[in-house]
Amino acid sequence: MLSIENLRVVYHDVISVLNGISLEIKDGEILVIIGANGAGKTTLLRAVAGMIDFYDGDIIEGDIKIQGVSIKGLDSTDIMKRYGLTYVMEDRPVFDYLTIEENLKAASYSRWDKHVKTDMETVFEYFPTLKLLKNRRAGYASGGEQQMLAIGMALMTKPKIMLLDEPSLGLAPLITEELFRIIQKLNESGITIVLVEQNAHAALNIGNRAYVVELGRIVLDGQAKELIHNEDVREFYLGAGETKRKSYKDAKRYKRRKRWL
Ligand SMILES: Nc1ncnc2c1ncn2[C@@H]1O[C@H](COP(=O)(O)OP(=O)(O)OP(=O)(O)O)[C@@H](O)[C@H]1O
Ligand SMILES: [Mg+2]
């Protein structure tokens, strides 16, 4: 289990972005995190993946633990190697000038074993499109193909926990559906998934549990399928509310749970 305890993160010593976030990710689940732009979702993933210092950020309070052991202060490579945690970033970094196959090989750099070829075949089973395009330069791939490649690269590290930051961003609805089916399959194969999404409906549909983040705090949590029917979630994140509250300033109307205050 991964637990985040009262985490506070600031950028450049002064910009306070996470203001005491606590949450739990259980082994084997798909945990969904939704929240408006700027709520701090990406910051949370950066902190968990040990990458916050690349962005001039600091954890000033709280802790992050895997199976009860603190990982705070470890760098991203250590976290990946020791705990099998991988982070697929929002901007899908791939090596443009390398082919898709070369990208996958490059992503296995942290491995000592000799099973890279078999694992690449596994990636191709999840993403047949990548196999078809394996000799094409990644820079020429479409947004959807690059997202699949980014996830494929993460798979090459043989992860136990995968953090996904808005994988559906900019993808056509059908591609998004396909991608979410694959995320579900990855989860069924035993990978714990943390899914940050703006596409709340699709994410809540495949998720087990979910948290709503606002201004660096958790304001709501519950079973993912139940949150689909929550009035506030429907209004703010699913565009399906009854009234026309337009601003997140009304967030105080959330029936906040005491422990998050
Ligand atoms: N490196 C940085 N330096 C300073 N401020 C930053 C930095 N990175 C993010 N921020 C600020 O922190 C806040 C939270 O950003 P973050 O990217 O975590 O939000 P988010 O929930 O992922 O938003 P989005 O849905 O737009 O991706 C924003 O106000 C953002 O401007
Ligand atoms: Mg983000």
- Residue-wise pLDDT tens digits, 10-20: 999 999 999 99
Of the candidates 129, 158, 187, which is a domain's last residue? Answer: 158
Is 135 touching ligand 1 by the criterion CB < 6 Å?
no
**CA pair distance 73, 17, nearest whole angstrom:** 18
- State if residue 15 touches ligand 1 by the CB under 6 angstroms criterion: yes
The answer to whether the CB of 257 falls within 8 A of the CB of 221 is yes
Residues 153 and 66 in one domain: no
Do 147 and 58 belong to one domain? no
38 within ligand 1 shell (Cβ under 6 A): yes
Domain end, chosen from 158, 174, 207, is at 158
247 CB burial (10 A radius; 0-12, 13-18, 19+): exposed
The whole model's pTM is what? 0.91
**Residue ID of nearest Cα to ligand 1 atom 28:** 38
Quick one: 235 and 130 in the same domain? no
Whether residue 35 has its Cβ less than 6 Å from ligand 1: yes
pLDDT for res 251? 42
Verify that 227 and 122 share a domain, yes or no: no
Q: Determine the average pLDDT of the residues in 69-76.
A: 94
- Please state the atom number of ligand 1 nearest to the C-alpha of residue 213: 21
Average pLDDT on 188-192 reads 97
Compute the average pLDDT of residues 27-32: 97
Q: Could you tell me what percent of the chain has a pLDDT over 90?
A: 74
- Confidence class for position 257, pLDDT limits 50, 70, 90: very low
- Has residue 248 got a pLDDT over 50? no
Is the C-beta atom of 41 inside 6 A of ligand 1? yes
Q: 166 and 42 in one domain? A: yes
Q: Looking at the structure, do residues 201 and 252 belong to the same domain, yes or no?
A: yes
What sign for the dihedral angle of Cα 83, 145, 38, 246? Answer: negative
Query: Pocket of ligand 1, candidates 12, 13, 37, 198: which has the most ligand atoms within 8 Å of its Cβ, to mutate?
Result: 37
What is the arithmetic mean of pLDDT over 90-110?
89
pLDDT in tens, 169-187: 988 889 999 999 999 999 9
DSSP element (H, E) containing 57: strand 57-66
Residue 163, φ and ψ in degrees, nearest 5? -100, 125
Same domain, 125 and 97: yes
Which of 115, 133, 158 is where one domain is finished? 158
Residue 91: what pLDDT? 85
Co-location of 135 and 197 in the same domain: no
For residue 100, report the distance from its CA to the centre of ligand 1, in Å.
Answer: 30
Q: Does the CB atom of residue 17 touch ligand 1 within 6 A? A: yes
Residues 182 and 217 in one domain: yes
pLDDT tier for residue 213 given thresholds of 50, 70 and 90:
very high
Pair (208, 97) in one structural domain: no
CATH of the domain at 66: 3.40.50.300
- DSSP three-state, residue 101: helix
Per the structure, the count of domains in the chain is 2
- 43 close to ligand 1 (CB < 6 Angstrom): yes
Place of tokens 């991988």: 86
In which domain, by residue range, is 138 found? 90-158
Of the bound ligands, which one is closest to the alpha carbon of residue 18?
A: 1
Domain identity same for 97 and 66: no
Per-residue model confidence as pLDDT tens digits over 140-163: 999 999 999 999 999 999 999 999
- Where are the strands (E) in 166-204, listed by range? 192-196
**Are 184 and 250 in the same domain?**
yes
